Amino acid sequence: MPTLCSYFNEEDDPRKSNAPRHKFCDLMTISLLCALCGGETAVDMEHFGQMKEEFLREFLDLPYGIPCHDAYSRLFRLMKPTSLHRHSPSGMPTDVSFA
């Protein structure tokens, strides 16, 4: 069974020249889970990560801790809307594990 991070490849990361600190997979996974729980903003994503840190560490590396809202803002400013199409629910199977 594929893991959630397998859908967010580092090749898709638009921050290559900006020396990213947090892993692309970590940012995308937290933002997706936050959105599924009703979050809408980068601040929501940061708060979600802080509240669920223990749970998130079960399947994410988070080498620099929970990303701040600026990390999400920078990432989504650089991403092209079409780059999310590959990760859309229609392209994502229902048998995804977090491990």
| pLDDT (tens digit per residue) in 24-75 | 889 999 999 999 999 999 999 999 999 999 999 999 999 999 999 999 998 8
Q: pTM surpassing 0.85?
A: no
Q: What is the mean pLDDT of residues 90-95?
A: 52
DSSP secondary structure string for all residues of 29-82: HHHHHHHHTT--SHHHHHHHHHHTHHHHTTT---TT-SPPHHHHHHHHHHS-GG
pLDDT of residue 47: 98
pLDDT for 86 beyond 60: no
Tokens representing 48? 């979600």
- Residues 43 and 69 sit within 8 Å (Cβ to Cβ): yes
pLDDT value at residue 78: 84
- Hey, where are the domains in the chain? 23-91
| CA–CA distances in Å: residue 98 to residues 56, 69, 75 | 9, 23, 22
pLDDT (average), residues 63-90: 79
